[in-house]
Structures are given as C-alpha cells and as structure tokens.
Structure 1
C-alpha cells in the first residue's frame, strides 16, 4: 500500500503504488502562482549540507549509465526537472534561481540520465553537474555570483507535491490507476469537522458506513460487502478484525479522524499483501507522521485544532508535533480529545424506517437517548534512516472511548462501553541501487478490548426481568508481511519501449478472541454463557502469498496476470443446546460439546489490461477471484440469546469459506488547461459485477427437538439461529463515478453510485450433525404436517443493502488570493427495494430516501492561523444512515467552528 502521495524526488525513497499496476511517483511542479497554488507547487529550502557535498564531489561524480524511458514534453524547466527526477529517481538541486520563462526541450525514448539532461537543458542556457550518483545540480551561469568554479551559491532542493485537484484535493494517482481506487485526503477530512469517523466516508463512490452516530466504531461497506473480513480495514497496515455480536453490525474499527493523514480505498486489486481473507476491498487508514506535520525544511513544529459546536458538539481538539532530530532520525506525536453529548435528530421529514415486521419508526418513537462519547486518542512515530537505501518506521496508535448506546429499536435500554484500542507497527524498507529490489516488510500487533456494562432490565412493576451483565470482549491480532518489486526493461520494440515488473510477497495473521461475562446477581433471566457464546472465544490463522507480473509498452498499454494462494485454519470449543425440556439438552445445563476445526485453501487468479489510445484517456478492465475465510464469530457462534427469548445460537461445523469473483471495466480521464490556463478536469468511471458463492449470513434454523402440545396430533417447531452458507450465488453489480473540475478560483466535483443487489437465497437449515425430529422444519398444524419454515430467504437475518442510488455534489470558490474558501456539499440517497432480511426481524427492513446539505468555509488569517466554520445537515433532515441496520436517526443541524494553528 502507498505511504502517502507527497514525494521528495529521491531515488532511495520507496515510491509505493496503488497495487495492481506499477505507478511512477506522481507529481508535477511549477513555479508558484496565485492561479494554481492550490494544486501544485515547488518548495525550496537552503541546504548547507548539499553545498558541502557539491564542493567535495562536483569534480569527480558521475551519473550511472542506467537506461530510463523518458516521456517529457517541452514545458517550463521547473516541471521538466520534476518529470526527469520522477522517472530517474535522481535528486535535482538548483544553484540559485531558474531564469523566468526558461523552457525545456522534449525528451523521448530510452536513454541515460546524462543524455536526457543534456537534451532537456540544451536551449535553456542552464548547465548541470553531478554531485553524486543520485544527485545533480543545475546552474544558471548568468546569475552566478562569481565565475569561480569552486564557489557555489547556496543551492535549493526541488521537491514536488502531487497535483491534487477538485473539492477534496484528490491526487492524480487516483486517475492514473487502471482500477478502482479512491483516496480520502486530509483536506477533505479537515474542511468540515465530523462528529464520528463514519462521516469522512460520506462522499466516496461505492463506499458506505452501516453503523450509526451513537457508536464510534466503523463498519465499512465496499461495493455491497461488509463485516467479517470482507473488507480489510487496517490502521497503518495493521488489520482491525474486531467483532462483537449486537443488534445491527458486528464488525467495528475504532479510529479518531483527527489522527488520520489519508485513507486509501482499494476496490480492484486484492492480489497484494492485505488481500488475504478479504473479498471486497482494502481500506488503509494512514495516520499522521513527521512528513504530514512538518513542512519541508522545518526541523520541528506542530499543528493544533480546537473545535466547538451546537447540538452537543461540546469539544474537539488535537495537537500534533514533529521533530527531525538528525538526518538519521525523526519523530512525531499527536493527541486528540473529543467530547460530544446527546444530540438532537433532524426535524424535517421525521420518518426514518420500517422494521422487518413492517412497523413504522420516526424521530418521535426512535429517539437516541443517553448517547455520549468521551474519546482520547494518541500516536507516537519514529522513523530511522539506517543508511542511504534502508529505513525503519516504528509506530503506536491507541484510543480510549467511553460511550453509551442503545441496542433496541425503541432506544429504551442503554449499554455503557469503554473501548480501548492499541496498534503497534514496525516496517522496514530496503531500496538499493537496483531495479530488482524494493523490499518491504512489516510486523504488527493490535488489540481491541471492550468493557461493556449492561444494566438490569426493570419491568413496569419494578421487578428485575433480566440481570445485569459485566462483559469483557478482547481480540488480539498479530501479523507479518513481506513483499518485493523487480523491474526489467527491454530493448526498443517497434517504435516504443517496454518493460515487465514483478510484484510478489506473502502475509499471515493470527486472531485470538476471548470473551468473559459476570452477572450482577439482581435476579431475573440471564447467564454468562449467553454473552460468551454469542461473541465466542477461539483462534484463527490466515495466510497466503501472491505474485503479479505486469508488462507495459510505450506507456500505451499494459497487461497484468497474477495468482494468490490463501489458506485458513480455525478451531475452538463450542456447544449446542435446546429450549425444549424433553430434549434433555437444555442450555442452562451446559448443552452438548461441539468441536470446531475448519480449514480450507484456494488458488485465485487475477487479470488486468489497460490502454491509452490518446493522451489523458485510459481504458481498463480487471478480473479477480478471492476466498474469504470465515471469522471466529461466524464459526464458533453458540449459547443462547440474552434474556428469556428462547433462541439458541448454533455453531455450523460445516461452514464453508466464501468464494467470489469480480469483473470490472472502466475509464480514467485526466486533462489540463481545458477551459483556461492552469485548470484541470479529472474523472474515473467504472462498472463492476461480483458473484459470491457460499455467501455467509445469520439465519433462523430449527432446533432438533419439537414441542408436543397434543401427543401425535399437534407439534411445534422451535427456533434457533446460526451462520449459514447460501446455496444460491449472491450478485452485486454497480456503476461508480468520481469527477472534478478545478480552475483555482472555483471548483466543482461529485460522485455517483448506482448499485443493484440480489440478496435473496436459500440455505440448508440443518446445521447440526445431530438427529432431527421429523417435524423440526414444519409449522404448527394437526398431525404435525406443514410447509417448511426454514431454509428460504424470508428467514435470513443481518443482510444490509447499500443504497440503490447515491449522488454527491461539492462545489465552492477560493477568494482573496485563495485565503478564503467557501463551499457546499449535497448528498442524495435512495434505498434498495430488496433487503432480503427476515420477516421476523425487528431491525431496519426499509429506510427512506433522504438528502443532506452541508456548508463549509475556511479563512487563512496568516500562514500560521486558520479559522473554519461549517454547518452540517443545514436543512435539519431526519434520516438514518444508508445501508440500514441502525435504529437511531443521525444528528440534526450542527454548526461547528474550528481554530487551527501551526507552530
């Protein structure tokens, strides 16, 4: 995965990539000007060390004779030098200033760096000299202070940032990748303060969040798939696999957006590290590091943000600091605190949803009570540059969240949670002067631990109906991965150059889950095994390897083929029980032991192709297969529903892994100077279709023993719940589009997501290897004869559908030399018609369409102080978050003011 898009042009810097296809370091630099300063720039800084190095080496240093493929058009010298450095990986140092208006000569074809520089500068009046094998200086003889060759003016180092256009500063790499990727930039996250992390995903095509504003955890849905590892959501590469069974979503990831530098969403390429056990995508949340806090040339400094707003947005604040201790070491730290209270829902359009059994809910009868969040988060990073071609990155990210939320559709009963997260990462990169080696390796450990207190449930008469629970849920995940990239360039073929690159690696991770529960002793129903079985303990190992080969010719087309091998092993002790007294296998007596031991493996191919018939247009097509390993939660589910509900949970000892295939076609557009000089238009459009075999979800199943009301005449099936594999494939297809136009003083962008989901399907309801009563799957009827109850789509539970249509728009202006920015965002959501959830379900069966408008603004008082003001949900719309599965409406109109400073 990439480590961010800001690149110092240095051959020893790992350039990363988006995954499926090799990318060069993207970025273009021009001399700063008010018309386009928001999108591209050259940063210069004095460098005494560089002067000394130049004086020592100028007379003897030479560049290597490595051949590079250059494709540099005639353009201003500044941008041409950045393109040269981007291709060759050679640092460029400027001796003095570039002459205004200096132009380069076009450089095309395969040649050495020396030959390319000679041609590029041949009509500019500039000279160049090597000051090392990976650094050159460019000199303007006319502006030199003296003619003495031993005297140099203080040079400046040219660095570049990716050209990042549009409302959210999306980097050009998104529109140069032949596959579906998206990036949430820090600019996008900062311009409108959010109550919860879920809100930063609101404007990403093909992505939705399923949980509501009362829970700080994230459940990320990518292209209709979510939870149970279908989407690998990770923090700095460390997987966050936590699951906890509740009404609603099960998988959640805890992160404070104040600590984030960038979020990258990979939807096409899973033939890379991070793809093991996943089927829909990889969401990498990269947290702040030194380069995100300090500007180029700064040895130390920091940033601070303080926010306060209406609607119980009481306080949000964060401080980050970085220090470049020496050329060999830099460190960074950040801390964040958030305090929000019991918000008010929107008053306009109060209708929210209907439950699976058809009951209507609005902001009046589904009101979020006792909702608050006290969250403290922090991180610590250290980057050690071992030598010129090796670096070590160490990091810690942690959080403590104290919050309350209800678990029932009427929002009556409140659970109180204290959730801690800890993530440790260690990464090493070795990138020597070789096209065959760019080796990355990493180790990580992450823990999510939730201490939950469930107060006793009291009846109207004051009696205790359900005892209180004091629960501890813990999941530890440890993992490691290693990968390498090798590039091989060929001689000229026809009228173009070609090369082949190999990406290959291996990864593994181990999950260890443990759940304990203690009862309060107030009386009523309830037992520890109910909690310990519904979020079970157990262990899982997932591992795999991959190899990708990409052939490219003349930057016009590329072909990719890949294979990945995946395997999982999962084991633990479960049990099954019944509520029928005659069974002799009651849950309260401990049930019957059940050993779970699952393992599978699969080889999955992937293919891809792209072609660029004209400059600025790239067509692509991709195909991949994947195996999604079941989680501990899915395989080990057991026990009994909390309270006197009478629904046992059954482990499925024959549960299979999901197998999916995804096809997509798409096109990228990238044009500059469209309507006026310096503007830019960017767009990505893709259509996909996914087919998922053995889709796993929870469904109602029969207990083996029936109840007999009148012996021989009247029997009744008893209900349980279990994870099942659907016997019919699940299909998800959709169209995604992201586009933007940026003219500097004004901009406009948006996304479109169209989705069609077939979530119907039958399943085998007999999940236990036990003897079933002959009437176990029949209805209540004379003589015990009736139609099957279980095994059809009307008994599926826990399937959530992404919106059928979702549109977002974002536009604004930049005034007063772009110091003042003001804009608006709009979101329109239309739900699916076929949720496929059980007709017995009390959770969301159908939510209603909604539209949201947000206003945001910022004013840069000076280079160190900025004030931001935003109004979220301006028109106070009442709605539940798209994808369903939530009980509570989202917050109503909320105004937030933020003061940001640099030091």
Structure 2
C-alpha cells in the first residue's frame, strides 16, 4: 500500500453531506468505546516465499497497516512466506523469521522495521511501501469459474454502451439492439427472467419488458463503473437465490478508486468524443474524507450518441445493410452518491444511490423506410444501505444490505396511420431486497488446516406495474402492451450455508446447501375468442376475455460441492457439482393479451414448473512467474462446463382451451416447459501474460447446444372441446419454439506495449465470433465475423491521461446477438478521451 500525507479537502462541500457530519458526531462516544473493546484481528494469508521487501509489501497491503522502512534494510533478505491465520504481530514475526529483523508498532499504529534487539530510536523518515493489488490476478486463485473486468479494461476502448464492457469475458455474451442502452447478460447459454442475477453493487436488477428482443435489461453508464465481477453457475452464498446461470455484479466507483492512499480527497474528470455519431461522453467524480469517520463519493455522467454508420466491408446489398442506422441515438444522464460512516475499526455503515435517465427511439428496422415505433424515457433508481460488523473475532464477520430499486420506461407510441391509433405506455418493475451473512473461521488445533463457514439469508420481492392507454382514435387495444408485460408480484427468500476446508498441503473442499422459497401472485384477462361484427362496423370483430388469477408457492433444496488440489505451486486443479432452481417469473406465468394488431393472443401458464439445473465443471488454474524472464508472469484458467436444465421454459405455440375442431380456431403463444432437458456444454479459457514492457490477455469460449426435441404440452390451460393440435405444435416437433442461443465460438485477444517508463501504452484487440451462420439467409454472412480494434494511451504526468481508440478498424459489417435475432453493429469509430485526476 502507498501512504503519504495530504491536505484536507476544500471547505466547500455539498449540502447533502451535512447530515453525515451530524451523525458522525453523535456516534463518536459509543463508537470509541466499541473500538477499545476489540482484540487484535486474525486473518488468513497466503504469501509465497521470496524477497523480503515483496513479502512485506504484500502483507501490509492485505493487513491494511502502514509500515515505514529504508529499502536498504530489506535488501539481501528473503522471507519464508506465510500460510494460515495470523494476527498482524504474529504475521510480521513469521515473515521476518531468520532475517534478524523485527517490526515495531508505535503509539499511532504505524510499523517500522529495525534490527532485532536494537534500541528504539527516533522514527525514520517516511519511505513509501507500495503494493499494487491486481484484481485480475485474484481470479486465478479461485477454484471455480470467475472473471473480473477492471477499470483499465473498460478505458481501453471507449464503450458505446454497457454491453461493450463484457466483450472479453469468456462464457459471457450480451443481447442488444444498439437502439436500447440496456444490457441483457447471457452466461453459458442462460439469460432472462432471473436465470442470471445481474446486480449493481449487490442490488438485483429485475426489470421486465416484453418485446422482440430479450427480457431482462439492466441500465447503467460504464463511466460510473470501477469494475465487474462474474461468477458462473449456481452458488451457495450471497446473490445465488433462484439463480441457475450465474451472477454478474457491476461495481460502481468507491472512495479508493478516486483517492490516493493516505490522501483525504481526490477525483477524476473524463471527456470523450469521436466520429460515427459518438458525440460526447463525459463524467465528473469526486471523493472526500470529511472526518476520520466519514467518506463521501459523488459522480455525474452525461452521454449522447447518435445514429451510426454501418460497416461497409463484407456488407450485403440493400438499404438494410448500408448507410445510416436509424434510431440508434441515445441521450442519457446518470449519477451516484455514497457516504461511508466508519464506526471505529470494527463497524461500517454505508448509504448509496445510483440513478440513470435515458431517452431513445426504437424502430422495427435499421433503415429510414419507416418512422420510429416508439419513443422511450427510461429512469432507474437504486437506493442501498450496508451495515458491516467485523470485530477481531474468528466467529463474527457480518455483512448486511437492504435495497430498493425501480426501473420504469415511459413509452410514447405515435399514430403511424395503420388505424391502430396512438398509445401511452409505462412499464415498471420494483424490487426490494436484502442480505445478511456471516463468516466464521476456525483453526483446527495443531493440524495445518483451516475451516471457514459462510451462512446467512437473502430475499427479494418484485412487483410490476404496467400501464397503457389510448391517446387517439383507432382500433388498437391497450392490452397489446400491458398484457405481454403483466402486473404481478413475486417473492423469493433463501437460506444458504457453505463450508470451506483448506489444508496446508493444497487440498480444498467446499460444500454448500441452499433452500429457496418462492411465492407468485397475479391476475389478468385471458383471450378466449372473437366474433365477427356486421359489415361496416368498427372494429370489425369483438374480442372475448376471461378473468384468471394465480397464487402459488413452493420451496427447493440445492446443494453445491467443489474439490480442489494445488498439485504444485503453480498448478491447481478443481472440479465442482451444483444444483440450482429458478421459479417461473411474473411474465412467464401471467402473460396475456395479444400481439400488436391482434396477430395472435398470448396465454398465461399458471402451472409452469420451476427450472432445475445440474451443473458440472472441471478446470485448472496455472500461475507461472518468471516463465521466460525475471519479472514476467503467466496466469491461466481453463474450465469444461456441462449444464443441463430440466423443465426449461420457452415460448411456443399453444392451443386455445375453447378451440373446436382439428387444430382449433386460433393460434396462440405461451411460455411452456420443454419435455427434454436443454443442455449447454463447452470449454472456456482465459489467460493473462505480463512482462512489464508488454502484456497480453486471451479469452476463448466454445459452446455446444443440445435442445432436445423441443416437445411440450400444447394445452397449458387444458381443453374442454376435444380439439387436437395442428402439425408442428407441442410434442411432435416443437415447431415455433423460441430459443436465445449464444454464439458457438467466441474469442478475444488483447495485447500491448508500455513505453517511456509506462507513460505510453500502445495496444490492439481482435474479436472473433462464430454462430455457424445462424439466423437464416438474411444474416448468414454477418453473424460470423472477426473485428479488429486499436488503442493508445499517454500519461504526460500523473494527473493527465490522453487516449485514442479505433473500434472496428477495418469497418466490418457485422451483426450482434439480440434475443432470438441479430442487430447490425457500428462501423469504424474513432474516439479521443481526456482524463484528469485531481
């Protein structure tokens, strides 16, 4: 860690901070009493043998202490390393064993290094001890498939939207239309309706809006991010309730991201502009420590992008593939505010707010042949409270959260002259939730092993509030919009526990058990038929509906197990098994109404079975320092995964319960459980190589799909007329079932060089995607592609950074996944960024 003195922040602060100051003053007396009552904390450390200075830096970083010493005092000494649980004092003694040196703590808590037994002297002049934590390095120590996206990764290529942030994560795909700034995340073939838990700072984002794309958009500006954590498959700890695909946590800016170690205030200003309608993206973020107990962070961001030019290389004939891509403009504001109140060394209370407001148009195609189908104003607000209690005890390390998030889209649908009229529509999803977890660490006597228990509970409650009304005369029906995204409520509560055994010989055993309970309630109007009206009467027919109501609940147990072994110091192998459950979502169970134009009705399916997943995984971590030369480092993670989902929920054609005759008299769609399990399996690889002057990062995913026969019950609501389904329905062939499938192959390679004492960085990236020509003749030439990007970064001083990026260097015409279809991506885009730290 680097520590240095810094001045206090300027006197002018936001009025909102006054409340935090008052609270801090009120709490000071009892906070101090609590701090005096705790004992020195023990923590688990893994520090390899090596040069003493390196070991001390690592230990000071992980222990969170300040240490001063002249560099020459540590030269020529080696440390035996550290493995196990230690207090700070015991840890220093073990690290310094055999060196003839000792660590001394003064009355202020600062440690100094001195020869053992030497008399105490005046405090040495400050010398910086600097340790550089690298978040990406930690993922190569985890015996499971996890990935990390850092702020450095985000800054290299200026992201046009949040989807671009995840482009290089193996096993992770995104669904987007480039018209909507939201992102829907797919992990190993699973997405939407909560299969993947996508969070912002640990708060679930469960927004629902039905359409031709995905159903599960998350709205967040990349300018507010400090990084992203991705965990794949089911988990027996926080965030895993009712999840079968994995967990993605978008982490927003914290105090430490903006302020140098030892300083009391800092910030960052960033401005980006470019061609191809990348008009402007700018942000201002600042943090200050008002007192020793209170930290504040605030940030605001603005982005404006327009209708981009499509790539020309490899494009097909026709206006759809050339020229300007209509309705891809977006104008958005976002911001955050955080206050952290340190109640001594053992407690922390935190308040966070994250918000975004975006306006954008959508159209049915990317060309200008038709007007926009709707104008959208999306607003999302998230409020989060965290309380942590971590006294110096192996029995208590308590983390808790309570949050509320709301995402609403006010949509104007103009009269397009088709006789339907104009509509005003609002989609809204609210979520309140929380977590409570504790970690207990146990030493197993004289046995060189440790045992850690993690246990707790989490819950969330969703409720949707759609609204639709007619704004002009016409034959259209508001139920076209409020029915497919229905009103309803769903609650999930979960108890979880996990035991992690770790032996000094490298053996790790992890076992977990989760109990999920869900409850779903809602009602609507089910379409049952229509009657033709007399000639000349408008509308030309009368539709008939029947009321329905749903109220159901159930509970499930889901175990997980992992075994890992450190075969040698650089090589660890691991294997895991996990079960997961995902209850049906509000939309899947309660959807009703009709497709726009009454093309066909949507039916509810109150009896949907929850999805049950079985996940197998086998992999390895490899960490090789000094592979080709002193100071280089190669880290690799490879994993084979196999996921089977029983009762997989998909949308398919069904039969009206009131149909008559062979095939019935109406074609409808509903969510159904497939008869055969859906299976996704494949290989993932990620690697980092760094030698200081040059670096490289690789990710690769190969996914195989087995969708079974696609058969299902075509009578989700039964049938009382004796009609039989037409060809292509249900158990015969599963015709018409809609799947959201990831690319079969996806790869990314980034590499670069650092020059002039790392002031100048030059790099490039190649992205590859192979969908086996899926999507029919319209897309077959553009869904398999290779795209090249370049970037440069120059830091003339520690405060200023200048960046230049070229996205899609060769102006490739290519398409990206958008739910069950594809959408044309931007052509070549050049952007420049100025970033100033203060």
TM-score, structure 1 length as denominator?
0.84
Aligned to 1:228: 193
Q: Structure 1 residues 362 and 679 mapped into 2: Cα distance closer, same or farther (>3 Å)?
A: farther
- The yes-or-no answer on 1:639 pairing with 2:598 is no
- The yes-or-no answer on 1:538 pairing with 2:488 is yes
* Preserved CA contact (<8 Å) 2:817 2:823: no
Aligned to 1:26: none
Q: Return the alpha-carbon distance in structure 1 between the equivalents of residues 396 and 153 of structure 2.
A: 35
Task: Pick the aligned partner of 1:212 from 168, 171, 177.
Answer: 177
Task: Pick the aligned partner of 1:507 from 442, 454, 458.
Answer: 458
- The yes-or-no answer on 1:764 pairing with 2:729 is no
Aligned to 1:798: 738
- The yes-or-no answer on 1:742 pairing with 2:742 is no
- The yes-or-no answer on 1:76 pairing with 2:76 is no
- The yes-or-no answer on 1:812 pairing with 2:733 is no
Provide Cα deviations, 1:482-538, integer angstroms capped at 9, x if missing partner.
000001011333xxx111110101001000100111112232x31112211111011
SS at match of 2:596: coil
Aligned to 2:762: 822
Q: Return the alpha-carbon distance in structure 2 between the equivalents of residues 448 and 657 of structure 1.
A: 25
Aligned to 1:103: 77
- The yes-or-no answer on 1:628 pairing with 2:582 is yes
Aligned to 1:855: 790
Cα distance, 1:44 vs structure 2 = 3.2
Aligned to 2:21: none
Q: Structure 1 residues 891 and 718 mapped into 2: Cα distance closer, same or farther (>3 Å)?
A: same
Aligned to 1:443: 402
- The yes-or-no answer on 1:556 pairing with 2:469 is no
User: How do 1:314-713 residues align onto structure 2 when only pairs under 5 Å count?
Assistant: 314-351=279-316, 363-364=320-321, 368-407=325-364, 412-414=370-372, 415-458=374-417, 464-493=418-447, 497-523=448-474, 525-554=475-504, 556-581=506-531, 589=543, 591-645=545-599, 647-706=600-659
Provide Cα deviations, 1:406-461, integer angstroms capped at 9, x if missing partner.
14587735211000000000111110010111000000000000001111222xxx
SS at match of 2:56: helix
* Preserved CA contact (<8 Å) 2:405 2:432: yes
Aligned to 1:151: 122
User: How do 1:1-400 residues align onto structure 2 when only pairs under 5 Å count?
Assistant: 42-46=1-5, 72-85=47-60, 89=63, 91-94=65-68, 99=73, 101-107=75-81, 114=89, 117-118=92-93, 120-121=95-96, 124=99, 126-131=101-106, 135=109, 137-140=111-114, 149=120, 151-153=122-124, 155=126, 158=129, 160-162=131-133, 164=134, 171-351=136-316, 363-364=320-321, 368-400=325-357
Q: Return the alpha-carbon distance in structure 2 between the equivalents of residues 608 and 310 of structure 1.
A: 49
- The yes-or-no answer on 1:891 pairing with 2:793 is no
Provide Cα deviations, 1:203-238, integer angstroms capped at 9, x if missing partner.
110001111211100110001000000000011111
Gaps of 5+ in 2: 9-35, 534-539
Cα distance, 1:368 vs structure 2 = 3.1
Cα distance, 1:76 vs structure 2 = 2.7
Q: Return the alpha-carbon distance in structure 1 between the equivalents of residues 497 and 204 of structure 2.
A: 21
Q: Structure 1 residues 649 and 67 mapped into 2: Cα distance closer, same or farther (>3 Å)?
A: closer
* Preserved CA contact (<8 Å) 1:244 1:250: yes
Provide Cα deviations, 1:307-328, integer angstroms capped at 9, x if missing partner.
1111111111011001111110
* Preserved CA contact (<8 Å) 1:697 1:796: no
Deviates more, 1:65-74 or 1:432-441: 65-74
* Preserved CA contact (<8 Å) 2:168 2:699: yes
Cα distance, 1:75 vs structure 2 = 2.8
Q: Return the alpha-carbon distance in structure 2 between the equivalents of residues 420 and 67 of structure 1.
A: 44
Q: Structure 1 residues 543 and 590 mapped into 2: Cα distance closer, same or farther (>3 Å)?
A: farther
Q: Structure 1 residues 531 and 80 mapped into 2: Cα distance closer, same or farther (>3 Å)?
A: same
Cα distance, 1:339 vs structure 2 = 0.6
Count of residues paired in the alignment: 801
Cα distance, 1:366 vs structure 2 = 10
Provide Cα deviations, 1:97-153, integer angstroms capped at 9, x if missing partner.
553624234156778765653454356554422347x956223479x9xx9847324
Q: Return the alpha-carbon distance in structure 2 between the equivalents of residues 220 and 76 of structure 1.
A: 43
Cα distance, 1:861 vs structure 2 = 1.4
* Preserved CA contact (<8 Å) 2:195 2:243: yes
Provide Cα deviations, 1:616-651, integer angstroms capped at 9, x if missing partner.
111011111011021111111001112242x11100
Q: Return the alpha-carbon distance in structure 2 between the equivalents of residues 297 and 366 of structure 1.
A: 52
Deviates more, 1:890-899 or 1:369-378: 369-378
Deviates more, 1:617-626 or 1:89-98: 89-98
Q: Return the alpha-carbon distance in structure 2 between the equivalents of residues 294 and 616 of structure 1.
A: 34
Q: Return the alpha-carbon distance in structure 2 between the equivalents of residues 539 and 64 of structure 1.
A: 46
Provide Cα deviations, 1:343-364, integer angstroms capped at 9, x if missing partner.
111111114xxxxxxxx98843
Q: Return the alpha-carbon distance in structure 2 between the equivalents of residues 438 and 587 of structure 1.
A: 65
Provide Cα deviations, 1:845-900, integer angstroms capped at 9, x if missing partner.
99630111001111001111111000100111111114663453100000000111
Q: Return the alpha-carbon distance in structure 2 between the equivalents of residues 287 and 304 of structure 1.
A: 16
SS at match of 1:320: strand
Gaps of 5+ in 1: 1-41, 50-60, 165-169, 352-359, 459-463, 709-713, 779-786
Cα distance, 1:66 vs structure 2 = 8.3
Provide Cα deviations, 1:769-827, integer angstroms capped at 9, x if missing partner.
442x333413xxxxxxxx46444554344312111111211111111111111111001
Cα distance, 1:192 vs structure 2 = 1.0
Q: Return the alpha-carbon distance in structure 2 between the equivalents of residues 47 and 866 of structure 1.
A: 22
Aligned to 1:873: 808
Q: Structure 1 residues 192 and 795 mapped into 2: Cα distance closer, same or farther (>3 Å)?
A: same
SS at match of 2:483: helix
Cα distance, 1:741 vs structure 2 = 1.1
Q: Structure 1 residues 577 and 484 mapped into 2: Cα distance closer, same or farther (>3 Å)?
A: same
Q: Return the alpha-carbon distance in structure 2 between the equivalents of residues 537 and 98 of structure 1.
A: 69
Cα distance, 1:278 vs structure 2 = 1.2
SS at match of 1:188: helix
Cα distance, 1:730 vs structure 2 = 0.3
Q: Structure 1 residues 653 and 99 mapped into 2: Cα distance closer, same or farther (>3 Å)?
A: same
* Preserved CA contact (<8 Å) 1:260 1:287: yes
Q: Structure 1 residues 587 and 759 mapped into 2: Cα distance closer, same or farther (>3 Å)?
A: farther
Aligned to 1:32: none
Q: Structure 1 residues 205 and 883 mapped into 2: Cα distance closer, same or farther (>3 Å)?
A: farther
* Preserved CA contact (<8 Å) 1:380 1:396: yes
SS at match of 1:226: coil
Q: Return the alpha-carbon distance in structure 1 between the equivalents of residues 584 and 698 of structure 2.
A: 36
SS at match of 1:173: helix
